Amino acid sequence: MLRTLAPYLAFGYISLVGWTSRLRWSGLEHLRQAGQKSKRGFIYAFWHQRQVMFTYTHRQVGVNVLVSRSRDGGIIAEVMRLFGIPAVRGSSSRGSMSATRELVSLLEKGDVVGITPDGPKGPAREVKPGVLYLAQQSGCPILPITNASSRRLVLQKAWDRFNVPLPFSRIFVSHGRPVWISPEDDLRAKAAELKAELDRITEEADRLAA
């Protein structure tokens, strides 16, 4: 019963946070750059701990988000569906190849996809190879994105110190510089570049929201 109700409770709560909060956006020039310079789509990358508010800020805009095939992933996918966000199910341990093929196909059609490069189980804020491989195979840029809320609950015992925004907040959504990956690039260096940019904009958003 709780698993059945959970997506609807989460949908209602996140909607309440969105309705009662003030949203601010930064780095929109990077969003335009990623969209204009790529002849296909692009890849949003965001840390796992900051995913909650994106279900509201990016509702009904056509972003296809990679979600694990776990039971918790099923709840997340249902919350996303309620917000009009399609899910591509798969992770490094289950359904990785089929999910990668689906994501590449979406990007080739000009769609936008979203990935948590440290998800679903961490280590926190460490870029795994999946998002880099996807960018390299598709020829599409990775666009770092983050958000921060002035009022939030931080789950200290969660592996990523998961952030839950609270109502009546100031919420900042920040975009970073796109990361392009060619077949000749060193993926370890590109992972470090993506991590540095994600950490930079996350710290910047935290300062703006404080």
The per-residue pLDDT for 107 is 95
The per-residue pLDDT for 94 is 64
When the candidates are 3.40.120.10, 2.60.120.20, 3.40.50.1460, 3.40.1130.10, the CATH number that belongs to 2-209 is: 3.40.1130.10
pLDDT digits 0-9 by tens, 35-86: 877 778 999 999 999 999 999 999 999 999 999 988 889 999 999 999 999 9
Residue ranges in the chain whose pLDDT is less than 50: none
What the block records as the tokens of 10 is: 């989460």
Interior angle at CA 80, CA 14 and CA 130, nearest 5 = 120
The per-residue pLDDT for 36 is 77
Helix, coil or strand: residue 85: coil
**Prior bond of 120 cis (ω within 30°):** yes
The per-residue pLDDT for 194 is 98
The per-residue pLDDT for 93 is 60
Which residue matches tokens 């095939």?
69
Length of the chain: 210
The per-residue pLDDT for 95 is 60
Mean pLDDT of the chain, nearest integer: 94
Query: In angstroms, what CA-CA distances link 184 with 21, 130, 137, 145, 205?
Result: 44, 17, 12, 25, 33
pTM of the model: 0.94
DSSP conformation class of 86? -
The per-residue pLDDT for 92 is 60
